[in-house]
Structure 1
Amino acid sequence: MQDHQKSSLHQRDSFLWAYYFEQGSARHIDPKELQNPSQSEGFSWIHIQSDAIDAEQTMADLGLSKSVSDSLLALETRPKTLQIKGGLLIYLRGINTNPDADPEDMVSLRLWLTEKGIVSSRRKGRKLLSVQDVKNDIEQGAKINSVGDLLLEIIERVVVRISEMVDILDEELVAFETSESMDIQARQRLSAVRRQAAAIRRYLAPQRDALDALYRSNQFLTSDQAFTLRELSDRTTRYVEDLDLARERALVLQDELRNRIAEKQGMVLYVLSLVTAIFLPLSFLTGVFGMNVGGLPGIDNPEAFNVLTFSMIALVAVLGGFMIWKRWF
């Protein structure tokens, strides 16, 4: 029965990977080793797919309590840090860089932190490149000496990816601000930038609070690690402020764009009004003298057409001079 359990954990869809860290070095471990942990002073990092059918059983085999398992399996989460007996439960959000995904649809990362290591979980099709970056660093020989180091490495990668997205939004706004005109696609993109800034900020504000709560918990972190965590929290705060500014800049740009469009439309209407003011009297004259009724002056005078034409030209000149004098042009 025990051998069956060992092999079944290896075959489960919920198990993604596991590493064991000892004296700064990491090695990929087989799931069988997780059910027979060594007595050394090392720690592990186990990554699980939370929405797999066998995820709950996998967590039970790893020794996680029911409350912790339910928290790691939760479908909807907001960034926060909770102290639970035996460890810390941390919810984070990272930039969604999956194919055909919107960056503002941020990916949830759940972490269960104890002295023995970290158990992290994510849903199917919701890979977080920040976690993949840490995994790649580990495979390339990065030194991680403690659970606190591993936690900070994950958080820092999440913050770096967020900073990259904030920089992209800032560059797009600068391009909009320096552009003399914007077509329909550019205006639609400006609206998308504003929406992305608002959506990312929605999760960054509570994520900043979650990092502050983690800092105040004063668990599993040395003084140097706590200082690094405080720096990461401050960076997150700056990104929240940058996103607030980005939303305001996008709003100002949209207002300016609407003003430009209204100004152009007003100028067109203004020119049409001037043209109408000039040609309205001419239309009246042509209408009057175009009536096919008896008694019209000049019907028998061969010079009447020339007189009327020169009179209309003179009228246009007078109206034009009046408008110039009034500085309507």
Structure 2
Amino acid sequence: MESALISGFLLNGEGGGKEVDWAEIHNWSADQGLLWLHLDLKLEKTQQWLEGESGLDPLALEALQAEDTRPRCLSYPNGLLVILRGVNLNPGADPDDMISLRVWLEPKRIISIRHRKVMAVDDIRKNVLEGDAPIDAGDFLFRLTQGLAYRIGDVLSQIDDEVDALEDEVLEQGSFEQRRKLSNLRRQIIRIRRYLAPQREVMTRLQTEKSPVITELNRIQLREIADHITRYVEDLDSAKDRAAVCQEELENRIGAQMNKTLYILSIITATFLPLGLITGLLGINVGGIPGSENPLAFVFVCLLLLAIVVGQVFIFKRVHWV
């Protein structure tokens, strides 16, 4: 079971903490301090411990082990369940492939569970090792949501920069490559907003949640995080609208270019159609080509065709086709 434990800490409530193993976890009692366990849900041993030894409510267990989750929070008589999402900043991953993090909080115990590595959790772990551990479960929740929010903000800043760059490119020139970039960007925005909007609701609800885990100071702190996430959602909506306008402008430019090309081809076709008719009539004359005995006949035909072209150009200009 040792491998199921990513990290375990016993926090003293004054900023200090020490790492613990499964033997110490089994012997832990609430009077020893705040216990924080960070587990890997992909491992079967984690699920065995949750179901057999954690003592959690069956409904909370089901939510903690669910395959697909959306941000939400549920209050229980003995604790608080919070499910959040964070941007995926792991090497080779797409930030919009948002990572689920499930957290169970009691006044004297915290259980955090993840499928993939979450940078915000690593920040808290480093804080503990540096002597700046959370003082209680509410402080842990604040630090966690703060770390998730800041990283989301960094990704949204990059998205905003990409939209700015694409707006400039579309104004200068339109191409199919830019259309592909805009489509990918809009898809990324939609995927992030899919989880960020309900996460905003979670942060709003946590401010009023009646739980012994959350203090008045925590409510004030969580309100700030909720304001940040609300602004992020608004920024996403703005970026989505700007990307849509860019794509519409790009489609108009590409459509105009194609129409111009088709127009030029139509003019060329209209120009050479009568010439082809004349030369075709001469070619199918089975009784002999007129003027075949005259050495100047070819020159006369060429001059006739040239005159027709000049006449067509004159007519096209009069009717403003060219």
TM-score (norm 1): 0.86
User: Secondary structure at the residue paired with 1:13?
Assistant: helix
- 1:118 is displaced (CA, Å) by 1.6
User: Structure 2 matches for 1:201-212, cutoff 5 A?
Assistant: 201-212=193-204
1:198 equivalent among 185, 190, 194: 190
CA–CA distance in 1 between the matches of 2:157 and 2:5?
A: 35
1:32-52 deviation per Cα after TM superposition (whole angstroms, max 9, x unaligned): 333333565842321112232
- 2:97 aligns with 105
Q: How does 1:87-106 map to 2 (within 5 A)?
A: 87-106=79-98
The 5 Å alignment of 1:161-310 reads: 161-179=151-169, 180-181=172-173, 185-219=177-211, 220-294=213-287, 297-310=290-303
RMSD over aligned CA atoms reads 2.4
Q: 1:150 aligns with which of 140, 145, 150?
A: 140
Unmatched runs of 5 consecutive residues or more in structure 2: none
Q: Name the amino acid aligned to 2:311.
A: V
Letter in 1 for 2:270: A
The answer (yes or no) to whether the contact 1:15–1:58 under 8 Å persists in 2 is no
Q: Note the C-alpha offset of 1:291.
A: 3.9
CA pair 286-259 structure 1, distance change in 2 beyond 3 A: same
Per the alignment, residue 51 of structure 1 pairs with 42
Give the Cα–Cα distance (whole angstroms) in 2 for the partners of residues 308 and 15 of structure 1. Answer: 93
Asked if structure 2 preserves the Cα contact closer than 8 Å seen for 1:88 and 1:112, the reply is yes
Distance 2:2 2:114 in 1: 15
Question: Aligned pairs, how many?
Answer: 317
Query: Structure 1 residues 273 and 182 mapped into 2: Cα distance closer, same or farther (>3 Å)?
Result: closer
* Distance change >3 Å, CA 158–CA 297, structure 1 → 2: same
Residue 32 of structure 1 is matched in structure 2 by 23
Task: Measure, in 2, the Cα distance between the counterparts of 1:221 and 1:53.
Answer: 31
Please tell me whether the aligned partners of residues 88 and 95 of structure 2 are also in contact (alpha carbons under 8 angstroms). Answer: yes
Give the aligned partner of residue 113 of structure 2.
121
**Pair 1:189–1:140, CA change in 2 (3 A):** farther
Q: CA deviation at 1:197?
A: 1.1
Distance 1:128 1:26 in 2: 21
What is the alpha-carbon distance in structure 1 between the residues aligned to residue 192 and residue 167 of structure 2?
21
The structure-2 alpha-carbon separation of the partners of 1:289 and 1:73, relative to structure 1 and needing over 3 Å to count, comes to: closer
Residue 9 of structure 2 corresponds to which residue in structure 1? 19
Identical residues among aligned pairs (%): 38
Alignment correspondent of 2:53 = 61
- TM-score by length of structure 2 reads 0.88
- Equivalent residue of 1:54, what SS? helix
Q: 2 CA distance for matches of 1:109 and 1:65?
A: 18
> Distance in 1 between the 2:237 and 2:3 partners?
41
Contact 2:174 2:254 (8 Å CA) reproduced: no
1:56–1:69: 8 Å Cα contact kept in structure 2? no
Letter in 1 for 2:21: D
The CA deviation at 1:92 is: 0.5
Q: CA deviation at 1:158?
A: 0.8
* SS of residue matched to 2:208: helix
Paired with 1:309 and 1:55, the residues of 2 have a C-alpha distance of: 89
Gaps of 5+ in 1: 1-10
Letter in 2 for 1:151: L
3-state SS of paired residue (2:245): helix
Distance in 2 (CA, whole Å) between partners of 1:136 and 1:312 is 85
Structure 1 residue 89: Cα displacement = 0.6
2:206–2:219 contact (8 Å) kept in structure 1: no
